[in-house]
Amino acid sequence: MARIRNSLLLCLALLTWTAAGAAGLPQPRVGPMAVSGVYSVTFHLNLASTLPAGSIITCRARMAPIPGGLDLLKPQLAATPVSAGQVSVTGSTATCAAEIPFSWTVTSPPGGIALFYEIDAVSYQGGAPILVRTSAPRQVSTAFPAAGSSANLSLNLIF
């Protein structure tokens, strides 16, 4: 008997909640909010093999919020923030840094950042640039920085 009564009370509560939504009563929602800041990415590269003398390593990174609570009425993500950095090779290691400023309008607090990156090694032997080595585009997820602040991400990679 108690089981039937509990089931009936649960159904009544669900019907009342559904009716309140249909009647247009306000439901708790998060409105569009602006988020901005700067993301600094440092790539620490351990070179798997030697590169020609004078080679330059270029790193590119772009990012997007996850799980994707973008405000579709105000799409400010048309130009996904992209940044590039470069550094000359010294021995068997190299460090490449990129800063990515961002500003988006989101409908819900982002759960994190999806960072996409690619690294290339270019040699200028004979005056014309020659692509010596490239990485496949990769993705890594990381925490979203506090509003208006900067966050740092350091990646150790074999290249």
119 pLDDT band (50/70/90 cuts)? very high
Structure tokens at 6: 């509990």
User: Which has more confidence, 55 or 158?
Assistant: 158
Q: What does the block give as tokens for 100?
A: 């990515």
Binned at pLDDT 50, 70 and 90, residue 142 comes out as confident
pTM of the model: 0.68
Closest CA to 101 of 62, 48, 130, 137: 62
Place of tokens 């799980």: 67
What are the structure tokens assigned to 94, written together? Answer: 């190299």
* Mean pLDDT within 56-71: 76
Q: What angle do CA 83, 88, 92 make, to 5 degrees?
A: 115
Total Cβ atoms within 10 A of residue 151:
16
Calculate the alpha carbon distances from 73 to 23, 44, 69, 109 in Å.
25, 39, 12, 17
pLDDT recorded at residue 136 = 87
Query: Does the domain formed by 33-158 have CATH 1.10.860?
Result: no
Q: What is the pLDDT of residue 131?
A: 92
d(CA 154, CA 96) in angstroms, rounded, equals 10
Kindly list the domain boundaries of the chain, sorted by start residue: 33-158
* Average confidence score pLDDT of the chain: 74
Contacts of 121 (CB under 8 A, 6+ apart): 51, 55, 56, 57, 58, 89, 131, 132, 133, 134, 159
